[in-house]
Structure 1
Amino acid sequence: MADEAIFQRQFNELCRNIDDFIRGKPEVVRLAVVCLLAQGHLLIEDVPGVAKTSLAKAIARSIAATTVKRIQFTPDLLPSDVTGVQVYDQASGRFEFRQGPVFTNILVADEINRASPKTQSALLEVMAERQVTVDGRARPVPEPFLCIATQNPVEHHGTFSLPEAQLDRFMMRISIGYPENLDDEVTIIADGVARRMPEELKSVMELDDLRLMINAVQDLHLSDELQRYIATITRATRNHPDVKLGVSPRGSIALAAAAQAYAISMGRPFATADDVKTVAVPVLNHRLLLTPEAKIQNQTGEAIVEDILASAPVPRASRRR
């Protein structure tokens, strides 16, 4: 249990550091860090001005020795602006590859839905395989690699909806929401008046520590019974009457990894059905393609996942023997 206790202490310290800037949203911060440690990509979808980009920056700033790069997605952004390009060097008489911003530990993709579908697709390979293929040569990006993307769901002018193939590559989609109480908003105003920026946060973790935590998540016990429970949930999305396209096996794997990360963040060496339930909505909601009738009735992916969780048989808690 000692290793789990160390993990929990480091996890809580990382969350507290981010909480110091993202006020009043501890559960949002916890889910974001869980996604990071499960080696998943994070999509933050919310209205303007609720600190989507600040959350991404705060996560990046809290980890020392990480390389962080930001892309401001715009309609005129080209795929080579993302992945890199071959440039002819007159001195050497050869073409040389100049790396794009995806060659980093943490990539902040700001307003990702403002880029054209062609440019969005430049992220498909690197998000799935942690590599970029240019001129037939595969070039790995640094490990770990995490893409934190933001988008505004209410403004459609000049935007391009993310295709299902790209949405499926995000482990979680979360929203931050408005401040829940007056005191939190007053503190946010005070931070804004003082021109406080996420770049001012001190790092509380080294990159090597992050790698060790990621490895610990991968080694956490996930019983056969719980894996069957996860498969039952994801398969139910494919048969739901309001769903045109359900969760893929990639989504099942993402749900398992997120449950592992959440379990160890709570100091346990095994995952339970409650861990799966806690992360199921942010992991699965964006992977559902609803029927036209469901959209007309204002049905949501979140509600469908909750409905499935309520009806799926829950296995008994499993421990490593």
Structure 2
Amino acid sequence: MRTELNQLLQSYQERILGQELNVKLLLAAILSGGHVLLEGVPGTGKTQMVRTLASLVGGDFNRIQFTPDLLPSDITGSTIYNMKEGTFQTLKGPIFTNILLADEINRTPAKTQAALLEAMEEKQVTIQGETYSLAEVFFVVATQNPIEFEGTYPLPEAQQDRFLFKLHIDFPSFEEEKKVLQRVIEDRLFTIADKSVLDLESFLSIRRDIEQVTLSESVLDYIMKIVRKTRESETIRFGASTRAAISIGKAAQAWAFLAGRDYVTPDDIKIVVNPALRHRIQLSPHMELEGATVDQTIKELVGSIPVPR
């Protein structure tokens, strides 16, 4: 299975240029069973990144463009009356898929956001009193535009906490961006019709293997010290939750597995801690006035905690 997984990662990085770390973190997130919040300006390949992942793991892909008039039933589905047969019929919404791209989630009101976030947490949907289970492989990637806030509905902190990672998508380097341009001009971009590297059964088997990756007592202590430090630090107004500690642990297991190990090291924790915490903590007002960033604060906080040997 490791061979297929390495092949999947290699194929993914060949298709999505200039985002090596984010691509690997996105793969670690789906292997952990979590969900991801992607933040980046338009035109940086966020949709292509998610669509390509779906094709490589052999999963179904749906995309929802969030708008102010989107209703919860537009996501989950609804019941209609079939006059010909004289019965009510359930029409399942786009949420019934393996990989769902929730594009510009902050463009829709809280009620519709909550419908998606509830499904993420419960892995089930209720339509007119009837409960339907979602697919075993169910992965939500929600996007946000960081530069346009007019007419948006920001996700509350409690709802952001449901995402395993928050990833920042930046522009690729000069050479990588030039390669993308050349591929488009020469019509050589990889298409979503490319053959999948894994099927969903193999993918679920890898997930079960990842659950067996060892988190030693000292590494668990290291995770807890980081999370508790966010609650005690004067630079942070609101610290991380217990769910944050669970997210760091699960993500580190997936990251270690991708590295070919069956145990987690403190270095694995250092890699996943930023994307796992950046959307879960809020800086104190005086730190914001001083121009401090969340990522910088997390780095300094983690650096102040002794690394277990």
Query: Of residues 168, 176, 183 in structure 1, which corresponds to 2:175?
Result: 183
Counterpart position of 1:319: none
Matched, 1:234 2:227: yes
- Give the drift of 1:198: 4.3
Distance 1:144 1:246 in 2: 30
Counterpart position of 2:27: 33
- Does the CA-based 8 Å contact 2:78-2:128 persist in structure 1? no
1:89-108, aligned counterparts within 5 Å? 89-108=82-101
1:193-204, aligned counterparts within 5 Å? 193-195=185-187, 196=189, 198-204=191-197
- Give the drift of 1:124: 1.7
- Does the CA-based 8 Å contact 1:110-1:150 persist in structure 2? yes
Counterpart position of 1:51: 45
- Does the CA-based 8 Å contact 2:56-2:198 persist in structure 1? yes
Normalised TM-score (structure 1): 0.91
Distance 1:198 1:170 in 2: 28
Matched, 1:307 2:303: no
Gaps of 5+ in 1: 1-5, 317-321
Matched, 1:274 2:267: yes
Counterpart position of 1:3: none
Matched, 1:22 2:38: no
Once the two structures are superposed, what CA deviation does each residue of 1:178-228 show, in whole Å capped at 9, x if it has no partner?
Answer: 112x32121111122245364243311111111111111112111222112
State the superposition RMSD in angstroms: 1.6
How many residues were matched structurally? 308
- Does the CA-based 8 Å contact 1:217-1:260 persist in structure 2? yes
What secondary structure does 1:219 align onto? coil
- Does the CA-based 8 Å contact 1:83-1:102 persist in structure 2? yes
Distance 2:26 2:247 in 1: 14
Counterpart AA for 2:24: R
- Give the drift of 1:264: 1.0
- Does the CA-based 8 Å contact 1:76-1:115 persist in structure 2? yes
Gaps of 5+ in 2: none
- Does the CA-based 8 Å contact 2:212-2:262 persist in structure 1? no
What secondary structure does 1:40 align onto? coil
Once the two structures are superposed, what CA deviation does each residue of 1:5-32 show, in whole Å capped at 9, x if it has no partner?
Answer: x42x222211221222211321221111
- Does the CA-based 8 Å contact 2:102-2:141 persist in structure 1? yes
Counterpart AA for 1:155: E
1:203-282, aligned counterparts within 5 Å? 203-282=196-275
Counterpart AA for 2:300: D
Distance 1:166 1:198 in 2: 34
Query: Of residues 279, 286, 292 in structure 1, which corresponds to 2:279?
Result: 286
- Give the drift of 1:280: 0.5
Normalised TM-score (structure 2): 0.94
Distance 1:136 1:299, change over 3 A: farther
- Give the drift of 1:103: 1.0
